[in-house]
Every structure is written in C-alpha cells, then in structure tokens.
C-alpha cells in the first residue's frame, strides 16, 4: 500500500490546515489572517513542510496538486488513482499484512475507552477526519 503522506503526529495540524482552506478561517492560528491556497505544488510543499513543519512524506511520483471544493448541493465522488487501487489489490493478495488505518481512530473504536464528549474533543476529531478524508487515496 502507498505510504501515508501525513506522518503520525501531524494529522491534527493537517486537518486544521484543510479546515482553514475550506472555510477561509485560520484554525492553526485563530485570529490571524487566512492561509491562502498554494497555487503550485512547490508552494504547497514549502508551506506544509518548511513554514508549517508538517513533515509531509510526498512520493517522488507526485508533481501536482488539485483542490476540489464542491458546493453543498453537489454529490462529489472522489475516485482514487487507478494505479493505486490495482497496486493495493496486488499487495493484499501477496501479503499477510493487516490493512492499516491512521492511529488516531483507535481511541474512537475501543468501547472501553472513555472519549471526552467535550466541544474541544469533537472539534479535534472533526479536524482529524477532515484531514484524513482530504488526502486519502484509498490506501
């Protein structure tokens, strides 16, 4: 399976960045000016890794960025790249490795854990989910 682009420990910051782009509010530094969408892949890498310190692990074969923000009235179905789907299927057939999901989900899947039902906890999980959704390639 392709390596996850957002390394563990950066998922929340990534989610807050995506929420910032989606809303025009700055969730990383509330009260500060909005964080503009980068216009090029190089701007994206510079913003994420040098300015924000996210440490994104971008594969060598990736060279462009596309932002998609539909209207609320439009059903948008994000199709993963054909090559990634086929590579995943081959790896599943040839491997005994377990299907991996981001570790931040663990706290919400185990019934024995008492997840705080606070506004802060809900907003944090919301940012994590938005970040995961925005960059997932069905891997």
List pLDDT tens digits, range 96-124. 777 777 777 777 666 555 656 788 888 88
Cα 130 from Cα 116, distance rounded (Å) = 19
Q: What is the pLDDT of residue 3?
A: 66
| Residue 85 dihedral angles phi and psi, to the nearest 5° | -60, -50
Long-range own/partner contacts, residues 8-11 (CB < 8 A, 24 or more apart): 8/102, 8/103, 10/54, 10/55, 10/56, 11/102, 11/104, 11/128, 11/131, 11/132
Q: What is the pLDDT of residue 111?
A: 53
Token pair of 132 as six digits: 């995961």
Residues lower than pLDDT 70 in the chain:
1-3, 108-116, 137-139
Q: What is the pLDDT of residue 101?
A: 77
Q: Report CA 20 to chain centroid distance, whole Å.
A: 13
Cα 100 from Cα 36, distance rounded (Å) = 32
Token pair of 44 as six digits: 């994206």
If you search the block for the tokens 């209207």, which residue do you land on? 71
Token pair of 23 as six digits: 């809303």
pTM over 0.85: no
Answer for the pair 130, 21: CB distance below 8 angstroms, yes or no: no
Cα 20 from Cα 37, distance rounded (Å) = 9
Q: What is the pLDDT of residue 40?
A: 97
């Amino acid at each position: 399976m392709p390596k996850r682009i957002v390394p563990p420990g950066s998922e929340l910051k990534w989610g807050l960045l995506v929420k910032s782009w989606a809303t025009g509010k700055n969730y990383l530094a509330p009260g500060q000016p909005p964080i503009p969408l980068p216009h090029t892949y190089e701007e994206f890498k510079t913003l994420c890794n040098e300015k924000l310190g996210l440490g994104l692990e971008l594969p060598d074969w990736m060279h462009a960025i596309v932002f998609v923000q539909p209207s609320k009235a439009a059903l948008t179905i994000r199709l993963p790249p054909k090559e990634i789907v086929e590579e995943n299927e081959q790896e599943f057939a040839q491997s005994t490795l377990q299907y991996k999901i981001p570790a931040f989900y663990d706290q919400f899947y185990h019934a024995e854990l008492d997840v705080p039902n606070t506004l802060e906890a809900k907003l944090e999980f919301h940012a994590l989910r938005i970040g995961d959704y925005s960059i997932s390639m069905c891997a």
